[in-house]
């Protein structure tokens, strides 16, 4: 079984069928999983809006 990232948190997301189909096509076009595509979309939105949290190490 794959290990979970230490700082990763899962959640349930409900989207309509047309939106899901569009995300699936987009993910396939970019050779990503749907999960990976959603993570990328969220990250890009956070960066563009200036809301991406700073990494704390």
Domain boundaries in the chain?
A: 19-49
Q: What is the pTM of this model?
A: 0.78
Residue 57 pLDDT: 62
Between CA 17 and CA 11 the distance in angstroms is 18
Between CA 3 and CA 31 the distance in angstroms is 22
pLDDT tens-place values along the chain, 57 residues long: 455 567 889 999 999 999 999 999 999 999 999 999 999 999 999 999 999 988 876
């Amino acid at each position: 079984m794959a290990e979970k990232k230490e700082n990763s948190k899962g959640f349930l997301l409900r989207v309509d069928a047309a939106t899901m189909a569009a995300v699936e096509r987009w993910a396939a076009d970019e050779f990503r999983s749907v999960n990976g595509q959603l993570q990328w979309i969220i990250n890009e939105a956070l960066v563009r809006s200036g809301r991406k949290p700073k990494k704390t190490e």
